């Protein structure tokens, strides 16, 4: 039986899931991903609020002066880390579809007095960014939440400069999700139901115009979901725009 779930229903459920976390300040995982040196000088509530599955900033190997887009920027933690690395000559643009997360991020900007970070409302499938804007696109455990990942990859290619690169930490599957899992809205919000199969991830990025695509497993991401153990995992994903 084929899954018939409207994309807007998935987005609405995911938005509600993360709006709740923005309001409560509840981090799903705790920040065990970023080296302490990256968090120096950040208030504990900002440094500890992460909903990711890795360290996309370190994976990106940012350089001074670069322009970075962060897909699904949440409360802004990785944007603030990236802003330090690209310096005053660089810029970081965070994109998120959850108003509560954007409010949290802008409040954090004011607290930190950061001048080279901009947060924008938008969908990953329709980024509010002009063509050829970024040197780097990073994302931490968000692309799996999209109901149309091929379109996300096309948008990434559109907004990157020629030769630009991506650095993504994401939950990836070693096989296709069952129909029951695909219909479970809680598992969508929890980053499991939308996990893309590893080979499909590579194929779709290649189809969108990326080269040197690499998906490197980083560990079991199935957590308490017993039926998914061994099926989903955290991965570091890198590629370049041709």
Q: Where do the structural domains in the chain lie, given as residue ranges?
A: 7-241
For 166, the enclosing helix (H) or strand (E) is strand 160-173
Count the Cβ atoms, other than its own, within 10 Å of residue 16.
Answer: 13
Q: Does domain 7-241 have CATH number 3.40.50.740?
A: no
Per-residue pLDDT tens over the stretch 85-120? 999 999 999 999 999 999 999 999 999 999 999 999
The Cβ-side half-sphere exposure at 171, using a 13 Å CA radius, reads 28
pLDDT at 2: 43
pLDDT digits (tens, 9 = 90+) for 36-53: 999 999 999 999 998 888
**Nearest CA among 81, 120, 114 for reference residue 102:** 120
Positions in the chain short of pLDDT 70 = 1-4, 26-31, 220-227, 229-230
| H or E segment to which residue 160 belongs | strand 160-173
């Amino acid at each position: 039986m084929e899954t018939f779930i409207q994309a807007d229903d998935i987005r609405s459920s995911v938005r509600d899931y993360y709006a709740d976390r923005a309001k409560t300040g509840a981090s799903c995982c705790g920040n065990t991903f970023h080296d302490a040196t990256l968090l120096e000088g950040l208030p504990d509530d900002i440094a500890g609020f992460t909903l990711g599955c890795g360290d996309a900033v370190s994976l990106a190997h940012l350089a001074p002066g670069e322009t970075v887009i962060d897909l699904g920027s949440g409360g802004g933690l990785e944007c603030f880390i990236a802003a330090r690395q690209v310096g005053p000559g660089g810029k970081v643009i965070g994109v998120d579809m959850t108003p509560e997360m954007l409010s949290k991020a802008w409040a954090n900007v004011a607290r930190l007095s950061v001048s080279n970070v901009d947060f924008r409302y938008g969908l990953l499938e329709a980024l509010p960014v002009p063509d050829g804007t970024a040197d780097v696109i990073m994302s931490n455990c968000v692309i799996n939440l999209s109901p149309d990942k091929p379109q996300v990859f096309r948008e990434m290619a559109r907004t990157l400069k020629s030769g630009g690169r991506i650095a993504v930490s994401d939950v990836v599957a070693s096989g296709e999700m069952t129909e029951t899992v695909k219909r479970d809205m809680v598992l969508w919000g929890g980053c499991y139901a939308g996990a893309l199969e590893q080979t499909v991830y590579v194929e779709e990025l290649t189809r969108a115009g990326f080269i040197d695509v690499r998906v490197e497993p980083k560990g079991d991401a199935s957590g308490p979901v017993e039926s998914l153990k061994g099926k989903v995992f955290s991965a570091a994903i890198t590629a370049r725009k041709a």
